[in-house]
Structure 1
Amino acid sequence: MQKANIQLETLTCPSCLQKIENGVGNLNGVDKDSLKVMFNASRVKVNFDDTVSIEDIEKAIQDLGYGVKRSRVKAA
């Protein structure tokens, strides 16, 4: 299991939070219980396993229309 901390471009509306939670939460390998989207910090924290990569998670966020500034991944 790995732990990601993803810094996004500034989130502008609370509904963005729900869209990102749904988009990332539906990926295979993502630990839905660990998924937290922090609106005020424009940050996503999530744990995931080997069936999904950080690139897949970033792409899911970008496909929803949100910019990813940087990601940090470490072993959970």
Structure 2
Amino acid sequence: MLNAGLLVAILALSIYLIGYTMGRRIGKKEGIFEGKAIIPIELKKQMLDTMICPLCKQKLNFYTNCDSIHNRK
């Protein structure tokens, strides 16, 4: 028969691993959600900094649009 200390250690390790895997899955979902919110802002910032469309790589000006994404009016 296993002693009580070993059983407690196995139980503690299994609880730790279950908590770790659950936290990792939740963190990945939150990261994807935040990434989807940040990407449009980053694309607009990159476009304004370089005046080049990050999607089609065309140089922008104030009078033309790139599929209505970069409307400057």
Higher helix share: 2
- Give the number of the structure whose residues are more often strand, by fraction: 1
TM-score computed with the length of structure 1 as normaliser: 0.24
The higher-RCO structure (CA 8 Å, 6+ apart) is 1
Question: Which of these two proteins has the greater Rg computed from alpha carbons?
Answer: 2
